Amino acid sequence: MNEAIPVSRPVDHGTAKLMPDVDRERAWLLTVDGAPQSYVDLDEPTHLEFEYARRLGHVLDVVDEPGVALDVLHLGGGALTLPRYVDATRPGSRQDVVEADRGLLELVVEHLPVPEGIRLHAGDARAWLEAAPDDSADVLVADVFGGSRVPAHFTSLAYAREAERVVRGGGVYLANLADAAPFAFLRSQLATFAAVFEEPALIAEPGVLRGRRFGNAVLVASHQPVDLAALTRLTASDAFPARVEHGPGLREFIGGARPVRDEDAVPSPEPPDGAFSIG
C-alpha cells in the first residue's frame, strides 16, 4: 500500500497536487486546480491509467516495429506519462518535452524521478515548435491544455503547418482533444489537419461520437497510413473500447467544417461541471 504523503503547491498556472494511489506503491495522480492532468506509476511506466493516454500509447505502439527508438517531441508535459511510456517501450528514444508551466515541471522533477533520455524545456510549446528544425520528429504529441481547454494558438492551420514541417514524412502527429456534440471544435480540428496531412484519423469512444457525453478524442495525422488494423484491435480491446474513424466515415463526420485560420482560432470548449474533476 502506498503510504506516501500528498503534495500540494502553487505553480505558474494554478495549484498542483500530487496524490499517491493507495493501491499502487509508487503511483501518483497529478491534478491542477482539481482537474486530473497525469497519472504515473514509477514502477510500471507502461501502465496508462487514463483512457486517452492508452489510446495515444496504442498509436505510439504501431508507429514502427516494437522496440525501435523514436525521436519524439511532446508539446505539454504534465507528469510526463507518455514520455515515460516511450522510454520504457522504445529504449534509446530521444524525447523533448515542452511545458509552459515551469513551476509544474519543477514539482514533477522533484518528486517523480525523470529518465535520463527525456529532456525538459520550460516555454510556450508553439514558439518551441516554430523554432524546431524541419523533419526532426518521428512523432509529435500535442497534449496542451490551459486549465481544461486546448489554447487557441494550438488549433489553427498555421500551427498545423508548423507541425507538418517538423514531423518526418513517415511520422505521425497526435493530439488529445475534447469536445461534445455538435462537435464544432472537433470537426474544425479534423478539417484543419486534413488540409495539411493526407491521412487523418480519429479515436474516440462510440458514446462520445454519438453525442451522449463530453469526452476526449485522439486526432491522428500522417502522410503515410498508420497500421489501422492493429490500431483498431488495440483500441477495441480496452476496458472502455474506442472506435477508429478514417476515410469516408471521417470525411462524413467532418462534413462542411473548414480549416481554422489564426485570426479565427478559439480554445476548445469548456468542459461541463464534473466532466474531468475528481473528489
Residue 149 neighbours by CB under 8 Å, 6+ apart: 267, 268, 269, 270, 271
pLDDT band at 145 (very low <50, low <70, confident <90, very high): confident
Phi, then psi, of 223 in degrees rounded to 5:
-95, -30
Which grid cell sits at 198? 493526407
pLDDT band at 2 (very low <50, low <70, confident <90, very high): low
Whether 178 and 215 have beta carbons less than 8 Å apart is answered as yes
Mean pLDDT over 209-229 rounds to 94
> How far is 164 from 244, CA to CA, in rounded Å?
22
Residue 30 neighbours by CB under 8 Å, 6+ apart: 16, 17, 18, 36, 37, 38, 39, 40, 78, 79, 108
> How far is 175 from 254, CA to CA, in rounded Å?
17
Residue closest to 263 by CA, chosen among 181, 179, 188, 152:
152
233-258 pLDDT, tens per residue? Answer: 999 999 999 999 999 999 999 999 99
> How far is 41 from 100, CA to CA, in rounded Å?
23
- pLDDT tops 70 at residue 1: no
Q: Check residue 38 and give its pLDDT.
A: 94
* Crossing angle (nearest 10°) for helices 228-236 and 51-62: 150
Half-sphere exposure of 160 (CA within 13 A, CB side): 25
> How far is 38 from 28, CA to CA, in rounded Å?
8
pLDDT band at 149 (very low <50, low <70, confident <90, very high): confident
